A and B are shown apart, each in its own frame.
Chain A
């Protein structure tokens, strides 16, 4: 079992839909959780960063962390065609250890 599991999709939704992207993990020591967006042939871009459990909102994006279930989510409201990209979850523990990424979920928002 990999440390971080993420459904690779692809996920296709109509414009304006609410999108839910998820990752599960096995390492209970993870405390820092991130979501990156990666457009085709570009590097990953940091979207959301949360520490420990709870919610964080930024515009149309909401990140949720449920440490009891080892489950994190990214919600996108009023999705736009420009949101079409691969979304990578990433996480790490407080120690001197690397960031661990999921495989990424490919999202297409259809106009």
Chain B
């Protein structure tokens, strides 16, 4: 069974540029999560989807971040415009039950 797929794996952009990350969850997993992981820290939830619906986006900085999950499968997370402090690893995870989440390899973003 294929795991959670994310792309790109690495992205380097200049500040104020837009950037987008893509996630394909494990087949059949209705719940999808986007996490932010800073160096030396644990992942922090940005947004959680149940199928197409965003059920928890309280930690998503909505002035510059947006996400979508069309058709309840793949998801895209966008930052526009990016700031220096956005440099981090963006992790996607999916689950059948909320208590066992499976993570992708992450996208490492560097903002210059």
Asked if B42 CB lies within 8 Å of chain A CBs, one says: yes
A contact residues, range: 20 to 34
Query: Which A residues are in CB contact (< 8 Å) with B72?
Result: none
Asked if A66 CB lies within 8 Å of chain B CBs, one says: no
* A-B CB contacts (within 8 Å), total count: 55
In the complex, what residue of chain B is closest to A91 when comparing beta carbons?
Answer: B99
Closest CB of chain B to A44's CB: distance in Å?
Answer: 5
Identify which of A43, A44, A88, A101 gathers the most chain B CB atoms within 10 Å of its CB: A43
Interface flags, A32-68, vs B, CB<8A=1, else 0: 1010100001111110010100000000000000000
B42 and A98 contact, CB distance less than 8 A:
no
- A contacts, CB < 8 Å to B: 4, 6, 8, 32, 34, 36, 41-46, 49, 51, 88, 90, 92, 96, 98-99, 101-104
